[in-house]
Structure 1
Amino acid sequence: MVAFRMIGAILRAVTMAALVGGALAFAAVPSPYRAFTPESYGLTEISPTLYIDAPEAADRVAALIARAEANTRAFFGPLETDPVWVVCTAAACADRLGMRANGLTYGFHLIVVGPGGVNETILTHERVHAELHRHLDVSDILSPRFPAWFDEGLAAYLSGDPRLRQPADPRDADWIRAADDWLGWNDLRDSADWRDRYGAAARLVAEIEERAGRDGLRALVARVGEDGADFETEWHRLTGR
């Protein structure tokens, strides 16, 4: 049976799922929402926060998650969220869940990982998303306090993904700022390679740190996420442009 502590979060997480795009529902058609009831689709509960299709891989995956959490903690400090991880190490499991991405994060409650995401880079990327979302609520679906490009850019930047293409001049990455919500981010899928999209977003986050330091980047997250400051105002103030 799904851990009891998940139940209270399910309704909130289903609502917050719009943060990662898509408004699918539990249905006969496989979709990542099936991850809210992982044992119904052949995954094993290893702990209240880890479900996996291959119990024999649990120690290895748990060690990777621990490193991802350490990477996330290095930026945020003590972690305030404790998401449930649903991990597919094999394609058959991902197919049952309708999981096509390497990783998806639902609010700060649930992280679903596909076979291509069982590595420190992707796990860190998704864990950063969960922690950044810790102060978000339903109102952020229609009016996100962090633009989509920053949400993805911070996760890409802190994960240190070496596959991304980051322009040398951050002004050459300004085009990604059009993705201020998830519809805008998804619209770019057809017009820009994912390495360029994530690379541009990561480059703009790197610019903030170059100009304001790591503490300035942390302060931006705190002021917008906790204090409700306007992101654009803070971005202009820190980058000087």
Structure 2
Amino acid sequence: MIRRKRWWIAGAVIAVLLTAAAAVTVIAFPSVAAVTCPGCYGLERLQPGVYAEPGLPQARRRQVSEVVEQANKRVRDFFGGRVGSPDVLVCLSDDCYRRIGGGRERGIAVLNRSVMLSPRGVDPVIASHELTHVELHARLDGAEVPQWFDEGLAVLVSDDPRYLAPAGDRCLPDSRRSPPAALPVTLDDWLRAASADPRLYAEAACQVSRWAEKNGGNQAVRTLVERLSAGQPFPDMQG
């Protein structure tokens, strides 16, 4: 009887701790909670893996689906298929985006497994940028890359005209200032530096695109990611 009572008490304590942990997550990290349970935040399923705020007119629902499909195609075409299968949470109003934990960004990859898009991010470029982060990390399988490479690759895959020339050498004229060693390596450093100088995205994309062009294009990037996931070191991309 005493042993049974102890097990009951232990179970009750664990239940309380799990409930408290869930409450803390919802309050402190609503984006994590939202991607875990989109319906809990009022989002409805438009199609497998795509959620949006309810009550959208048919034209807006169609727009969301088309944007996600175009973005997925860009990622598939670059990587030659998909490994990751992230959910995409789409908000067409600022209130919705704030409710699921979004900020002033257009879009964000959450835990490298899901993507949230703000009203300003319902666009194939923004969506494919964030989906590239998820796909890259799914393929890396725990291996690390410098944050500038992560961001530069996302710009390249998304074909972002803000940071890439339309053809030939994809580097913009003012994106050749810094060698890779000068670009931020950690996420915290990148966020701090890029918020002060958005040209860092163009610089990172310049380095990645030139390395890819010199070494065999998209296939070179896929091979690099495979080698990194197998434990090989990140190469020197300077020059």
Category of TM-score, reference length = shorter chain: 0.7 to 0.9
Structure 1: unaligned runs, 5 residues or longer: 1-24
CA distance in 1, matches of 2:174, 2:106: 29
CA distance in 2, matches of 1:230, 1:173: 22
Aligned position for 1:3: none
Structure 2: unaligned runs, 5 residues or longer: 1-23, 165-170
For the 8 Å contact 1:68–1:120, the answer to whether it is kept is yes
Question: Cα RMSD (Å) of the superposition?
Answer: 2.4
Q: Post-superposition shift, 1:176? A: 6.8
The answer on 1:63 being equivalent to 2:66 is yes
Post-superposition CA distance 1:104-139 (Å, at most 9, x none): 1124421111111101101111111111011445xx
CA distance in 2, matches of 1:176, 1:91: 38
Moved beyond 3 Å, runs of 4+? 27-31, 165-171, 175-178
Aligned position for 2:187: 182
Aligned position for 1:235: 236
- Report the CA distance shift for 1:176/1:96 in structure 2 as closer, same or farther (over 3 A): farther
The one-letter code sitting in structure 2 at the alignment partner of 1:110 is S
The one-letter code sitting in structure 1 at the alignment partner of 2:185 is D
- Report the CA distance shift for 1:84/1:29 in structure 2 as closer, same or farther (over 3 A): same
What is the TM-score of this pair, normalised by structure 2? 0.75
For the 8 Å contact 2:32–2:110, the answer to whether it is kept is no
Q: Which has the larger radius of gyration?
A: 2
The answer on 1:98 being equivalent to 2:101 is yes
Q: Post-superposition shift, 1:219? A: 1.9
Q: Post-superposition shift, 1:201? A: 0.9
Partner SS for 1:180: coil
Aligned position for 2:178: 173
The answer on 1:154 being equivalent to 2:153 is yes
CA distance in 1, matches of 2:80, 2:66: 19
What is the TM-score of this pair, normalised by structure 1? 0.75
Partner SS for 2:232: coil
